[in-house]
């Protein structure tokens, strides 16, 4: 009985791992961010709950399908060889079926319980992540810029769930997330460049090992993040608390990349990654405080 229960728990946890929970958490944070700002702080909890359930299924399913498509590459890389598919815990066929089902279920939930626009954006995000970004990783280093598009769509989905529309505030959130992702993923690409090279992924640090273009891309996108992150103040969406708060966290994010400019190392890349992970929850807290919640 105990052995059967343990086996059940292992399989259950493996299906959860297929959904890439770390990425899923960031998706949910940015979706809530978009919902909160779109609703102007006036939250309809039933609507928010269904939006989060639908987004969890849809985004999680995208993660499953990504791992299905990259199962051969995952076997090669040290950081991914223990994932459920390459380790043999879950078969590729079962992963494929699971991924397709929960993407469809998530989309249906969003269409029925929120609105058609939110469901469409969710499906568009899944399509771009699975069928554009994933294969492009083996074609060009611009996969990071292409992948940042579906990565920046969740706050628009949250906004649409709250308002059934997309306006300037939603597009500003999209731009902030789009720029935020580049330093985040370039840092990961540098830290995992040996693995990516073995798997045949055309990440920028792989095709140009000296790292000069990688750090230029990081600093370029962080520099653009400063003016773009201030746009919510200029259009009256946020106030002074947001203004000072976002300047502080964006400056911290930018300064985390300076050591990498002088020494291209795993340690310095990890500084950027840590700053990027802190940025989104900090931004969410600042916005909530600014709105007086």
Is 229 found in the same domain as 93? no
Give the pLDDT score at 1: 61
Is 181 found in the same domain as 130? no
Give the pLDDT score at 43: 86
Is 211 found in the same domain as 122? no
Is 97 found in the same domain as 5? yes
User: Could you tell me if 213 and 182 are in contact, meaning their C-beta atoms sit under 8 angstroms apart?
Assistant: no
Which residues form the domain of 139?
1-166
Is 142 found in the same domain as 92? yes
> CB under 8 Å to 184, separation ≥6 — which residues?
272, 273, 276, 277
Provide the number of structural domains found in the chain. 2
CATH number at residue 256: 1.20.120
CA distance 202 to 274: 24
Residue that is last in its domain, among 137, 166, 195: 166
Is 178 found in the same domain as 103? no
Residue that is last in its domain, among 166, 195, 230: 166
Give the pLDDT score at 170: 96
Is 106 found in the same domain as 5? yes
Please give the angle made by the CA atoms of 62, 194 and 125, to the nearest 5 degrees.
Answer: 15
Which ranges of the chain does DSSP label H, i.e. alpha helix? Answer: 2-18, 21-38, 45-69, 71-76, 92-113, 116-128, 134-136, 143-152, 154-163, 168-191, 193-199, 204-207, 212-234, 240-255, 258-262, 266-290
Structure confidence by residue, pLDDT tens digits, 131-189: 999 999 999 999 999 999 999 999 999 999 999 999 999 999 999 999 999 999 999 99
Structure confidence by residue, pLDDT tens digits, 99-113: 999 999 999 999 999
Residues of the chain with pLDDT under 50: none
Residue that is last in its domain, among 166, 198, 214: 166
CATH number at residue 36: 1.10.357.140
Is 115 found in the same domain as 52? yes
Is 19 found in the same domain as 124? yes
Is 122 found in the same domain as 218? no
Is 67 found in the same domain as 159? yes
Is 142 found in the same domain as 7? yes
């Amino acid at each position: 009985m105990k052995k059967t229960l343990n086996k059940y728990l292992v399989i259950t946890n493996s299906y959860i791992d297929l959904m890439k929970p770390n990425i899923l958490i960031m998706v949910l944070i940015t979706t809530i961010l978009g919902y909160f700002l779109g609703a102007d702080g006036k939250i309809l909890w039933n609507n928010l709950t269904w939006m989060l359930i639908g987004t969890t299924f849809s985004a999680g399913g995208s993660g499953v399908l990504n791992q299905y498509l990259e199962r051969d590459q995952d076997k090669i890389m040290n950081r991914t060889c223990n994932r459920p598919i390459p380790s043999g815990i879950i078969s590729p066929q079962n992963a494929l079926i699971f991924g397709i089902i929960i993407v469809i279920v998530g989309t249906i939930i969003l269409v029925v319980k929120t609105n058609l626009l939110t469901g469409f954006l969710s499906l568009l995000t899944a399509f771009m992540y699975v069928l554009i970004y994933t294969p492009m990783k083996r074609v060009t280093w611009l996969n990071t810029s292409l992948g940042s598009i579906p990565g920046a769509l969740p706050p628009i989905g949250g906004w649409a769930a709250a308002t059934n529309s997309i306006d300037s505030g939603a597009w500003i959130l999209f731009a902030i997330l789009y720029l935020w992702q580049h330093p985040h993923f370039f840092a990961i690409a540098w830290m995992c460049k040996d693995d990516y090279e073995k798997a045949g992924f055309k990440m920028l640090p792989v095709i140009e090992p000296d790292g000069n273009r990688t750090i230029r891309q990081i600093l370029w996108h962080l520099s653009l993040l400063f003016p773009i992150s201030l746009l919510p103040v200029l259009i009256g969406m946020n106030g002074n608390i947001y203004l000072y708060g976002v300047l502080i966290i964006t400056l911290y994010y930018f300064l985390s990349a300076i050591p990498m400019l002088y020494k291209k190392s795993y340690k310095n890349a990890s500084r950027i990654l840590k700053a990027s992970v802190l940025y989104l929850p900090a931004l969410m807290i600042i916005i909530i405080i600014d709105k007086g919640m």
